[in-house]
Amino acid sequence: MNLKVGLLGGGSWGTTVASLVARNAPTKMWARNENTVRDINENHRNERYLPGADLTPLLRATTSIKEAVGDADVIVMGIPSQQFRRVLEDAKPHIRPWVPIVSLSKGLEQGTQMRMTEIIESVMPGHPAGVLTGPNLAREIVAGKAAASVIAMVDDTIAVALQRLFRSGLFRVYTNSDVVGCELGGALKNVIAIAAGMGDGARAGENTRAAIITRGLAELTRLGVALGGRPETFAGLAGMGDLVATCISPLSRNRTVGFELGKGRKLDDIIAEMSMVAEGVKTVKVVIEMGERHNLPMPIMQEVYNVLYEGATALDAYRGLIQQESGAESDPG
């Protein structure tokens, strides 16, 4: 393709997407860490975040944001949600007008409660904003295993052009115009994945995991629809698909946090051992605020919040959920 791509972020998913896109278009990836940049350029590896994985030799990396985005026709943001705004503001002086900006982040900004595309629209008005999301575990995709994702943009013409840019080999990409729903599905499922991980860590069983996933899907769908998403989006790749992958895979960072909590470990100790961000840990604070604003009961997400920030244990969360009165399956709670 004639498009040039600038990707910001040197983590596992950002690197994976950069390697995929570089097969279709000239791609420059920015990372802060000089060793990471050197590893990509000289060894075609990112051993820090994707040990043992081979990247396409076509991918080039740099520690200069200006070099990465200055001549780019498409910007991809592989930055965690709480640093997203700051990195985008640093890149802003070097980005040409009207260039589409695509988020890979699955989180919500604390304080503002904004989605990443809302931050793009705020910091970079006039730039088409979108999100690439779905059940996408970086280590499997970089290893060449089949996967599917969604590129969500309001403008279908731009979405179709980006669909061709992102799809590669066994990585299938579908379009969706529901940016709000796709983004919220990716962010909210991380909280449910922590709950599922807690159940697994506490050896609660497969039935409990299935209940958490299905009731969690109902919970995130209610909130997502209240915030402007379409119901059918949450039954698709950006909703149920991403939720299932994140709740059951040992590669999932959010499930890993929950799993260790379920074993009785402290959050600070778990986070200290992780090299990558588990977005659900911060997102749950925003989610609880949103639920209260819309007067929506969210028992699973509330129990996760209680464990992370109110001193409750995974056993307390389990007891809290089973003591909830159950009515019709369509009811909240």
Give the contacts of 133 (CB within 8 A, at least 6 positions apart): 104, 106, 149, 150, 152, 182, 183, 185, 186, 237, 238, 242
36 backbone dihedrals φ, ψ, rounded to 5° = -65, -45
Q: How far is CA 177 from CA 75, 107, 113, 131, 167, in A?
A: 19, 19, 21, 10, 17
75 backbone dihedrals φ, ψ, rounded to 5° = -110, 135
Q: Which residues on neighbouring strands pair with residue 7, listed in sequence order? A: 29, 76
User: Quick one: tokens of 142?
Assistant: 């970089």
- Can 189 be counted among the known catalytic residues? yes
- Kindly report the number of other CB atoms within 10 A of residue 208's CB atom: 19
Burial of 162 (0-12, 13-18, 19+ CB in 10 A): buried
Compute the Cα dihedral for 30, 32, 36, 37 and give only its sign: positive
Active-site position among 4, 66, 145, 189: 189
- Three-state SS for 110? coil
Q: How far is CA 207 from CA 78, 179, 212, 234, 264, in A?
A: 35, 33, 9, 22, 21
Compute the Cα dihedral for 48, 237, 192, 118 and give only its sign: positive
Per the CB < 8 A criterion, the answer to whether 126 and 97 are in contact is yes
Q: Which residues on neighbouring strands pair with residue 168, listed in sequence order? A: 171
Give the contacts of 256 (CB within 8 A, at least 6 positions apart): 197, 250, 270, 274, 278
Q: Looking at the annotation, which residues are catalytic? A: 189
